[in-house]
Amino acid sequence: MSDPRVFFAAERTLLAWVRSGLTVMALGCVVARFGMFLTLLAASSMASGDSRHIHWPSSAVGIALVLVGSGVILGALHNHRLYVGSLPPEDIPKLAIPWLTSFLSLSVAMVGLLLAVYLAIA
């Protein structure tokens, strides 16, 4: 007896992990940019001198959070593929675009990696 609810529950779980990874990546971006805000405040209060790298810890923590968010998404995709591979073929419905969730997950993770690179060089 075929029960596609199991497969769709796995899809919802993957998408929930993608949403959680995106949230962690957004938090990392905010933390990294908060360091830039603190640097600008310090530069405006200093008469002279180089104040560009005073608040590097917030940038490092922000970049780490972005990378963790990308890792969460990639790990969730890996778990999803393993779980779907363990389902009997009759429980896997025929989908119009079967690669869509994998494409979404990989795209969001790649954007997160590119964001981490941008935060590191900016």
d(CA 16, CA 84): 16
Task: Look at residue 36 in the predicted model and tell me its pLDDT.
Answer: 75
Average pLDDT, the chain: 89
The average pLDDT across 111-120 equals 95
The average pLDDT across 113-121 equals 94
Does pLDDT of 86 surpass 80? yes
d(CA 30, CA 15): 23
CB 14 within 8 A of CB 76: yes
Q: Name the residue ranges covered by the structural domains of the chain.
A: 5-121
Residue in 9, 28, 98, 107 with CA at minimum distance from that of residue 68: 28
d(CA 36, CA 29): 11
* pLDDT tens, position by position, 7-66: 999 999 999 999 999 999 999 999 988 877 777 777 777 655 555 556 788 889 999 999
In this structure, what token pair is assigned to residue 106?
Answer: 């990989």
pTM, 2 dp: 0.84
